[in-house]
Amino acid sequence: MMDAGRHPNIRLLTNSELVGLEGEAGDFKAQVRRHPRYVSEELCTGCGVCGRNCPVEVLSEFDAGVGKRKAVYVPFPQAVPNIYILDKENCTECGICVEKCPRDAIDLDDPGKDLELKVGSVIVATGFEVFDPTVVKAYGFGLYDNVVTSMQMERLLNASGPTQGHILRPSDGKVPRKIGFVQCVGTRGEAGLQYCSRFCCMNSIKDCMLVKQHAPEIEELKIFYIDIRAAGKGFEEFYQRSLEMPELTYIRGRPSKILEDPQTKDLVVQVEDGEAGKINDFQLDMVVLSSGAVANKTNQKLAEILGIEREETGFFTSGEETGSPLESTKEGIYLCGCASGINDISDSVAQGSGAAAAAEKHLAKLRIEEKKEEIPELDVSGPPRIGVFVCHCGINIAGVLDIDALKKYAETLPDVVFVRDSLFLCSDDGQRRLQDMIKKKKLNRVVAAACTPRTHEPIFRESCARIGLNPYLFEMVNVRDQCSWVHTEEPQEATEKAKDLIRMGVAKARLLEPLYKQSIKIDRKVLVIGGGISGMRAALDLDAQGFQVTLIEKEGKLGGSLNDIHRIYPQDLSASELVETMMQKIKNSKIEVLTEIEITDIKGFIGNFEVFTSKGGLKVGTIVLAIGGELYEPEGDFGYGKFKNVITNLDLERMIRDNQGDIIIDGEKPTTVAFIQCVGSRDLEKNPACSRFCCPTTIKQALELKKRGTNVVVFHRDMRTVGTRAEEHYRKAREMGVRFLKYSPEMKPQVVGEGKASGVELLEPALNRNLTLPVDAVVLACGMIPNEVETGRLQGILKVPRGADGFFMERHAKLGPVETTVEGVFVCGTAQGPKDISDSIAQGSAAAAKVATFICRDTIELEPTTSIVDADMCRGCGKCVRVCEFLAPKLVEKSPGIFVAEINQALCKGCGTCASWCPTGAITAKHFTDRQVESMIETFLTEAV
């Protein structure tokens, strides 16, 4: 978020709206209306004087109405840009702010502005709105004080929210002991919305865990649900962990009514127990309504302006039907996030990147020429002049630590010439002042006592670099995440600790040295490994931007698992047609396709990979892993292998693909077919993950069988029909008479029969007896597992790590779904985890966008925090060579028989392990040198406050 506000290629137009669009893809003209802000963006520094003096208080939208704000305000503390806005509706025009503003930035007559922009393409990422639960009258939202929405709960849980993270009951401000979460409010058939909004189940589970952390005295947590839809990478495992919480119980059923005791304001949730035929009452202190997501009301107007179509649900129509989930109905306009339907965060991020790849092709020839800004470097020679900046982080730090004491203490430290505090040091304003002070006070080392370097060091470093201070002369001291937040109850000890940490930071800062980035040439060619749907998509998107791509596939033909699929759910799209269309596009492109090829080895590093294959070698700069996953082989499960009429969902898929008429299983047309869900998935022993696509696949296949006159029974644990129209198809299947029976993992259904499967036996919990359903065939819905051979091999060759589930691990579960920890290597599709076709396509596009960020230049810059060898001190023992996994150090023969180690700076990852093993001290781990680390130890232990 901060990055978007700072990037020179991004122009932020907040408080603005698109009012018109003309032209066509590649050459649009967009009219943008900048609504009056009444506070000048150029003049406002975000100092907050206006807000403090404003006499008007209204409910804050950001805090979902549970907190307050002024009429002139910033929406939330870390807002980007950190500039105030005046809310004319609530403003009394008293004029106090105008008068108080030190920079005369407020103009109550601001007329706003109209802009006309030349754009090549448009990305629609307008998000969703939360369903208004007042519509569901039976739940009493708006009438009962203690019924809140999940967004309100989110703000109550947030440490920077209106209650500082204390969960307090709205009616009396007391900590609730019993909280209930009602799922599917507004969605899945309620209030006219058919679909499932995908993220609410996980959100409630997360909230329960957070409630437990924030209020350990909580006695009861209840989640009222229909199906728990933990369908996403790592989600099922998260759900399983929640089952270990003794306070949390899951209650199946949609509450019919919530009642309030008018005196105590306590609540009663009534849930019908369908099987026992009675209504159960649950006494609770507070109820959270898990409101679903709905399309923005403004979508209709926006659709008219853009000239694109919408669905009945209000979301924009995407090309999902034709295998292009990110395309709108108009060329040059792309959809991502929740524009075309509901997505969770990581899918939204992948779609955002994917839409970027699509949008880029209209502008690939118009990339910005980058002039390296020559910023004169500040002179840092001479003794250290250290500036210490202490951040309040609002009350996050200042609420616990004694900032004045820290400042006074810092002033006493050696070489510290300047100390200052700041409300938010990371804000635009805070950074600007930091820069001013560096220049004014001639600082040559900077220490910030603030949050964590893991998120904020890059921001500070860049601010230093922009004014010519070498960014490696900056040191960060973590007094928030590792101090004020974790020693909240011991403010004195915490302040003492912060003093020590600042002293240690200053000690290191005194020894910091300027470091310089090297750049290396990069090869712009791309290798995509795997010719399935996501690999093809990645290759096509890169080709459309004019990059040279080689697509390799180990089988004889492109298409991957699509070749086994008949029609793609939830649309009625033929898989073979999709493969055919994409193959045709590839044929018409410049993509080099190599089939029946195997990779034997890959050497090198980002920008310079050398790939060895069974058909010769090639050189590329970046690699996309799109090797796909595999379906679980259910050998021995549920009679598979023993009975010929027990088949997998893939077997059935092939039959449906090859057969327009009756489906014949084991020589007969079955009258009744049973599906068993979660075979080889959601299984703590075999594979704890949920594969996400099997439930919708079963629905699709059940509908196919039903059309052919076959009875269908589905044995499931939760029907997880997430994704576009999947829930609607689930409803249709029920209406058509498909039976759904729930089973628990402890009581799995048994396939019984002699010679062939003739029935499925299941314990009927309400009757507590076994029920046997006669069937003619059983279909096992097998989950997805990693392609063990290929994944393992590429992990060995490229060092891309794999997660606990065996799939390639992404750099960040939410924010980096297609990147890996190995620079220049990306992952997409089912190589990263089980997913459906649309999500695989979106990830393919996302990988293309990420590749483009590298290969749109000829060179890349290398991090200078690597290790280097002092050749004079090296005696060539080779220990460094042995401990490095990245093959960076090499022994080089300097003169006959004399070997000296050299470290390839492009391969070195900067872990510093070689330095710790070097017996002669010849290796220096830059920025973490022995002397720097030891000086921190020394000052901590010998110079106690």
> Token pair 């507590």 is at which residue?
768
Contact set for another protein, span 219-248 (CB under 8 A): 232, 234-235, 237-238
Q: Is 933 in the site for another protein (CB under 8 A)?
A: yes
* R_g (Cα) of the chain, nearest Å: 31
Residue (223 or 779) nearer to another protein, CB: 223
Q: Is 548 in the site for another protein (CB under 8 A)?
A: no
Q: Is 206 in the site for another protein (CB under 8 A)?
A: yes
As measured in angstroms, the least distance from the Cβ of 361 to another protein is 10
Cα 720 to Cα 834: distance, rounded to the nearest angstrom: 14
Mark residues 373-412: x for contact with another protein by CB under 8 A, - for none. Answer: ----------------------x---xx------------
DSSP state of 407: H
Cα 612 to Cα 182: distance, rounded to the nearest angstrom: 56
CB count within 10 Å of CB 732 equals 16
Cα 777 to Cα 647: distance, rounded to the nearest angstrom: 8
Q: Is 619 in the site for another protein (CB under 8 A)?
A: no
Residue (250 or 268) nearer to another protein, CB: 250
Residue (120 or 323) nearer to another protein, CB: 120
Q: Is 122 in the site for another protein (CB under 8 A)?
A: yes
As measured in angstroms, the least distance from the Cβ of 325 to another protein is 13
Residue (590 or 812) nearer to another protein, CB: 812
Judged by CB under 8 A, the number of residues near another protein is: 164
Bond into 81 cis (ω within 30): yes
As measured in angstroms, the least distance from the Cβ of 792 to another protein is 14
Mark residues 848-887: x for contact with another protein by CB under 8 A, - for none. Answer: -xx-xx--xx-------x-----------------x-xx-
Residue (650 or 800) nearer to another protein, CB: 800
Of the candidate residues 198, 265, 445, 497, the single one contacting another protein (CB under 8 A): 497
Piece of 29-37, 90-98, 592-600, 824-832 that binds another protein (CB under 8 A):
29-37
699 membership: H or E segment, kind and range = helix 694-707
CA proximity to 507, closest of 28, 35, 30, 931:
931
Of the candidate residues 40, 53, 90, 164, the single one contacting another protein (CB under 8 A): 164
As measured in angstroms, the least distance from the Cβ of 397 to another protein is 11
As measured in angstroms, the least distance from the Cβ of 462 to another protein is 14
Contact set for another protein, span 886-915 (CB under 8 A): 886, 909-913, 915
Mark residues 308-347: x for contact with another protein by CB under 8 A, - for none. Answer: ----------------------------xxxx---x-x--
β-bridge mates for residue 419, sequence order: 388
Residue (237 or 272) nearer to another protein, CB: 237
Residue (399 or 753) nearer to another protein, CB: 399
Residue (19 or 143) nearer to another protein, CB: 19
Piece of 124-132, 417-425, 634-642, 784-792 that binds another protein (CB under 8 A):
124-132
Residue (184 or 762) nearer to another protein, CB: 184
Cα separations (Å) of 526 from 396, 529, 590, 607, 610? 45, 10, 12, 9, 11
Contact set for another protein, span 559-578 (CB under 8 A): none
Piece of 10-18, 271-279, 581-589, 616-624 that binds another protein (CB under 8 A):
10-18
Residue (2 or 625) nearer to another protein, CB: 2
What end-to-end distance do the CA atoms of the chain give, in Å?
Answer: 38
Cα separations (Å) of 410 from 388, 591, 933? 7, 60, 20
β-bridge mates for residue 903, sequence order: 889
Cα 806 to Cα 822: distance, rounded to the nearest angstrom: 17
Q: Is 486 in the site for another protein (CB under 8 A)?
A: yes
Q: Is 307 in the site for another protein (CB under 8 A)?
A: no
Q: Is 431 in the site for another protein (CB under 8 A)?
A: no
Of the candidate residues 165, 394, 514, 878, the single one contacting another protein (CB under 8 A): 165
Q: Give residues with Cβ within 8 angstroms of 341, minimum separation 6.
A: 195, 313, 315, 318, 723, 724
DSSP state of 322: G
Amino acid sitting at position 941: L
Kindly give the residue spans of alpha helices, DSSP state H, lying in 451-517: 453-466, 491-510
Residue (487 or 748) nearer to another protein, CB: 487
Q: Is 62 in the site for another protein (CB under 8 A)?
A: yes
Furthest CA-CA distance within the chain: 94
Q: Judge whether 796 and 811 are in contact, CB under 8 Å.
A: no
Of the candidate residues 42, 89, 217, 244, the single one contacting another protein (CB under 8 A): 217
Of the candidate residues 71, 231, 248, 349, the single one contacting another protein (CB under 8 A): 349
Amino acid sitting at position 525: K
As measured in angstroms, the least distance from the Cβ of 558 to another protein is 26
Of the candidate residues 79, 91, 416, 703, the single one contacting another protein (CB under 8 A): 79
Contact set for another protein, span 442-481 (CB under 8 A): 452-454, 478, 480-481
Residue (271 or 512) nearer to another protein, CB: 512
Contact set for another protein, span 781-820 (CB under 8 A): 799, 801, 812-815
As measured in angstroms, the least distance from the Cβ of 841 to another protein is 16
149 membership: H or E segment, kind and range = strand 147-149
Q: Is 18 in the site for another protein (CB under 8 A)?
A: yes
Q: Is 329 helix (H, G, I), strand (E, B) or coil?
A: coil
| E strands, 210-324, in order | 220-225, 248-252, 255-260, 267-273, 278-284, 286-291, 293-295
Of the candidate residues 97, 483, 526, 785, the single one contacting another protein (CB under 8 A): 483
Q: Judge whether 445 and 387 are in contact, CB under 8 Å.
A: yes
Q: Is 216 in the site for another protein (CB under 8 A)?
A: yes
Q: What is the spatial order of strands in the sheet that 622-625 belongs to? A: 592-595, 549-553, 526-529, 622-625, 825-827
Q: Is 708 in the site for another protein (CB under 8 A)?
A: no
Q: Is 839 in the site for another protein (CB under 8 A)?
A: no
Contact set for another protein, span 712-751 (CB under 8 A): none
Residue (21 or 631) nearer to another protein, CB: 21
Q: Give residues with Cβ within 8 angstroms of 580, minimum separation 6.
A: none
Q: Judge whether 609 and 620 are in contact, CB under 8 Å.
A: yes
Amino acid sitting at position 501: L
Cα 363 to Cα 678: distance, rounded to the nearest angstrom: 45
Cα 118 to Cα 905: distance, rounded to the nearest angstrom: 42
CB count within 10 Å of CB 244 equals 7
Q: What is the spatial order of strands in the sheet that 267-273 belongs to? A: 255-260, 267-273, 278-284
Of the candidate residues 24, 99, 370, 601, the single one contacting another protein (CB under 8 A): 370
Of the candidate residues 54, 85, 248, 271, the single one contacting another protein (CB under 8 A): 85
Residue (575 or 918) nearer to another protein, CB: 918
Piece of 210-218, 256-264, 615-623, 706-714 that binds another protein (CB under 8 A):
210-218
For residue 616 the two structure tokens come to 């010769």
Q: Give residues with Cβ within 8 angstroms of 530, minimum separation 6.
A: 552, 553, 560, 625, 626, 627, 628, 829, 831
Piece of 11-19, 564-572, 773-781, 894-902 that binds another protein (CB under 8 A):
11-19
Cα 603 to Cα 904: distance, rounded to the nearest angstrom: 13
Cα 286 to Cα 284: distance, rounded to the nearest angstrom: 6
